[in-house]
Amino acid sequence: MGQLEHSAGAASGAHQDMVTAAQVSERTRFVLRWVILVVVLVGPWWAWVTRPGSAPDPGAASAARVGAVAPAFVANRLTGGQVALGDLKGKVVVLNFWAAWCPPCRAEMPALNKAQQNLGDKGLVVLGINQMEDRQTVGTFTQALGLSFSIGLDQSGSISRQYRVQALPTTYIIDRTGVIRDVVFGGPMSQALVESTVSPLLQP
């Protein structure tokens, strides 16, 4: 009788061990599934934002830094025609890289718009470079926010690669001689920040 009870107890213990092992195995599979899902979803995005880029001029990438001349580019305007950065020499340029899907980009647009309205007659040019979105999306976005500053289209991503833009928004402050004087990574920027940053550069 005692042997039967001992056998039953051992069997019960073995069964519990098997159940525990199965539960652990199931939890492990659950965690692995989530890890794989995160890698699948985040991996392509991370590969894109950290890509080395392919600027045709090897020196152009290193030039997109404070104290260097801003790399030249030509972009199609949202409203038609083209805008060349070189044509804006003599102006203080706020070069803002953005996209319609980016919440902080949207949040800082009114500040940029107001800065253009307040300081445009003193030589400020706000130039928004939309990153890789179609003209209709960009047009709908700018109309909804009532934006009046210039918008260039970087549909191929070549200008963003030239400036090594890895996060949105990214804003370059360029002085009247075409030299990068400041870079703001992320946002949203306030109107006070924009105007206090550019005001010294607008002095005659």
Instruction: Please give the radius of gyration of the chain, using alpha carbons only, rounded to the nearest integer.
Output: 27
Q: Which two tokens stand for residue 165?
A: 């833009």
Q: How confident is the model at residue 204 (pLDDT cuts 50, 70, 90)?
A: confident
177 pLDDT exceeds 50? yes
SS3 string of the chain? CHHHHHHHHHHHHHHHHHHHHHHHHHHHHHHHHHHHHHHHHHHHHHHHHCCCCCCCCHHHHHHCCCCCECCCCEEEECCCCEEEHHHHCCCEEEEEEECCCCHHHHHHHHHHHHHHHHHHHHCEEEEEEEECCCHHHHHHHHHHHCCCCEEEEECCCHHHHHCCCCCCCEEEEECCCCEEEEEEECCCCCHHHHHHHHHHHHCC
- pLDDT on residue 30: 61
Residue 64 binned pLDDT confidence (cut-offs 50, 70, 90): confident
- pLDDT digit string (tens) for 22-47? 554 666 666 556 545 544 444 444 43
How much is the mean pLDDT over the chain? 82
Contacts of 62 (CB under 8 A, 6+ apart): 68
Residue 140: per-residue pLDDT: 98
Q: Band of the pLDDT at 172, cuts 50, 70, 90?
A: very high
Query: What's the token pair of residue 114?
Result: 């107001």
Q: Which range (15-24, 27-36, 115-124, 193-202) has the least confidence?
A: 15-24
- Looking at residue 148, its pLDDT comes to 96
Q: What pLDDT sits at residue 55? A: 36
Question: Which has the closest alpha carbon to 174: 49, 87, 55?
Answer: 87
Among candidate residues 148, 90, 101, the one with its CA nearest the CA of residue 123: 90
State both tokens at 32.
């692995």
Q: Are 100 and 130 in contact (CB under 8 A)?
A: yes
Q: Residue 13's CB: how many other CB atoms inside 10 A? A: 10
Nearby residues of 54 by Cβ (< 8 Å), 6 or more positions away:
161
Q: 54-63, 72-81, 92-101: which has the minimum mean pLDDT?
A: 54-63
Token pair 């991996």 is found at 43
The long-range contacts involving 33-36, CB below 8 angstroms and separated by at least 24 positions, are none
- CA separation for the pair 130, 154 (Å, rounded): 6
Taking 80 as the threshold, does the pLDDT of residue 132 lie above it? yes
